Amino acid sequence: MKSNHQSPNMKQSHASIDAVGIPIDAEGIAHEPPLPKQYGTELLVLKEGKGVYLWDVQGNKYLDFGSGIAVNAMGYGVEEIARIAADQIRKIVHTSNLYTTEPTLTLARKLIASGPFQAVHFGNSGTEANETALKYARLYAKRKRGEGHHTLLTFTHAFHGRTLGALSVTPTEAYREPFEPLLPGVEVCPYNDVEAFKKIVNERFAGIIVEVVQGEGGLEVMRPEFARALNELRDAYDLILIADEVQTGLGRTGYLYASEAVGLKPDIITLAKPLAGGLPLSATLIPEKINALLRVGDHGTTFGGGPVTTAVASYLWDTVSSPDFLKEVREKGKFLGGALDAVQKEFSSGAIRLTRVRGMGLLRGLEVEVEKGDLGDWMKRILQVARKEGILVLRSGKNVIRIAPPLVISRTEMEEGVEKLRRALKIVVS
Ligand code: PLP
């Protein structure tokens, strides 16, 4: 494995600059930043963006195939988002949920009209949206069905967030181990396994939380027959079926909600990542049957659903919920999938092999297998060389290169990105 590849994308100088007292090298990397080590000890310092491109503090340019982990659907430097946010900040920034505002109500009305929902709880992050959904599932089971129905079902390779409740339904050991013991009353079923699912579920459950595409867990897509089984057993036992669409929702897969694509009929949908154009906002969409059981004070948040984030989110919603926009994303997704199929074929044998293209729409993955050496080291190297070639990609699970560009990306930009990724792979295997 070679380690010191110098790309033409990078500035040749090795001089360090010292921004805010932190040394930053010519590749725009801050070493030992004063941030927790969970983020690593080397971080790329980004400065600005326009469209699907980003620049670091050293002036190196990147095409963004990651969107800040599937957040920046509209790309960077969107004037309309800046204008809406600035206008709202001048009027009122925060009220708390003791009061509400017109932008909050406007967005809530738009969201509940997107399905069989009566209300929306706003939060600030994906994990909070899921915490809320899990709490509502338990509350519903207790108030409607009585004690003894509190178990929550999750699936292998799921990712639902880092707070203790959402982490409790995230089975991957590496995320959980330092914090165990977590919440009791959680069971795990193999994803997409209809028979195992039918065996496990009974009246002791309050709810099921599931992703349609496992965004962090390797980009496996839900099979329609699995979606059918989830719908049926939810009905049979009066469970709350929660679709975690934090990563897949709002057009990422070419559908407003990925649930639609596979026939999943959730009671609750959780949203976050792209919802407020990069500002922190999440939503937990709930049906009448849950809302009817809620009492004043059951749940709440100080910041969630403030007027600035919801004003921006209305703009994002109007854009991504348009049928023409969604059709375009589906077409772009097909194009990207085809381009990645070609890359997969090109690298289907050798020291590192691409074995499968996964995902849906503009949430795609290339599955990597290695002949020898540490898979984690190889994955790190692929992402690092890609960066040096001027393309930012993500990882999903242990062995999947994840690609989630801004939804506004053009075909030419996708071609450019895939070519950069291909070049990076060539360097890594050479
Ligand atoms: N759920 C899914 C499916 C996610 O992909 C993520 C984040 O990657 C989360 C929940 C947690 O979201 P957040 O990091 O905003 O808390």
Average pLDDT over the chain reads 95
**What's the whole-model pTM score?**
0.96
The C-alpha atoms of residue 282 and residue 33 are separated, in whole angstroms, by 28
φ/ψ bin of 99: left (φ > 0), alpha (ψ from -120 to 50), beta (otherwise):
beta
Question: How large is the average pLDDT for residues 175-193?
Answer: 97
The C-alpha atoms of residue 402 and residue 386 are separated, in whole angstroms, by 12
Residue 323: cis peptide before it, omega within 30 degrees of 0: no
* pLDDT, position 17: 72
The C-alpha atoms of residue 314 and residue 2 are separated, in whole angstroms, by 48
* Separate counts of helices (H) and strands (E) for the chain: 14, 19
CA of 349 to the centre of ligand 1 (A): 34
The C-alpha atoms of residue 357 and residue 262 are separated, in whole angstroms, by 18
Query: Which residues of 265-370 form beta strands (DSSP E)?
Result: 268-271, 282-286, 352-360, 363-370
pLDDT single digits (tens) 403-414: 999 999 999 999
* pLDDT, position 1: 39
CA of 1 to the centre of ligand 1 (A): 33
Contact assessment for residue 57 and residue 28, using Cβ atoms and an 8 Å cutoff: yes
Predicted confidence (pLDDT) at residue 202 exceeds the cutoff of 70:
yes
**Ligand 1 atom index nearest CA of 280:** 15
- The number of residues in the chain equals 430
Lowest mean pLDDT among 7-11, 175-179, 186-190, 235-239: 7-11
Q: By alpha-carbon position, which residue is closest to atom 14 of ligand 1? A: 126
Q: By alpha-carbon position, which residue is closest to atom 10 of ligand 1? A: 160
Q: Nearest CA to 429 among 376, 395, 393, 382?
A: 382
* pLDDT, position 8: 54
Structure-token pair, residue 428: 């890594």
- 3 — pLDDT class (breaks 50, 70, 90): very low
Contact assessment for residue 251 and residue 97, using Cβ atoms and an 8 Å cutoff: no
Q: By alpha-carbon position, which residue is closest to atom 1 of ligand 1? A: 160
Please report, in angstroms and rounded to a whole number, the separation of the first and last CA atoms in the chain.
Answer: 8
Mutate which of 160, 279, 400 to test ligand 1's pocket (most atoms within 8 Å of Cβ)? 160
Domain formed by 16-77+324-429, architecture: Alpha-Beta Complex (3.90)
Residue 231 has φ and ψ, to the nearest 5°, of -60, -45
Question: Could you tell me which residue, 22 or 377, shows the higher pLDDT?
Answer: 377
The C-alpha atoms of residue 215 and residue 274 are separated, in whole angstroms, by 14
Q: What is the DSSP string of 24-42?
A: E-TTSEEES-SS-GGG-SE
Contact assessment for residue 213 and residue 178, using Cβ atoms and an 8 Å cutoff: no
pLDDT single digits (tens) 280-326: 999 999 999 999 999 999 999 999 999 999 999 999 999 999 999 99
* pLDDT, position 376: 95
Pick the CATH number of 79-321 from 3.40.640.10, 3.40.50.720, 3.40.50.150, 3.20.20.140: 3.40.640.10
- 18 — pLDDT class (breaks 50, 70, 90): confident
CA of 190 to the centre of ligand 1 (A): 20
Q: What is the DSSP string of 165-181?
A: HHHHT---HHHHGGG-S
Where do the CATH 3.90.1150.10 domains begin and end in the chain? 16-77+324-429
Q: Give the CA distances from residue 74 to residues 118, 180, 293, 315, 353, in Å, rounded to whole numbers and listed in that order.
A: 28, 38, 37, 10, 33
- 10 — pLDDT class (breaks 50, 70, 90): low
The C-alpha atoms of residue 388 and residue 328 are separated, in whole angstroms, by 30
Cβ < 6 Å from ligand 1: which residues? 69, 125-127, 130, 159-161, 211, 215-216, 244, 246-247, 272
Q: What is the DSSP letter of 220?
A: P
Where do the CATH 3.40.640.10 domains begin and end in the chain? 79-321
**Ligand 1 atom index nearest CA of 211:** 3
Q: Is 198 helix (H, G, I), strand (E, B) or coil?
A: helix
The C-alpha atoms of residue 306 and residue 100 are separated, in whole angstroms, by 8
CA of 76 to the centre of ligand 1 (A): 21
Mutate which of 247, 250, 271, 402 to test ligand 1's pocket (most atoms within 8 Å of Cβ)? 247
**Ligand 1 atom index nearest CA of 245:** 3
CA of 273 to the centre of ligand 1 (A): 7
CA of 258 to the centre of ligand 1 (A): 15
Mutate which of 71, 159, 213 to test ligand 1's pocket (most atoms within 8 Å of Cβ)? 159
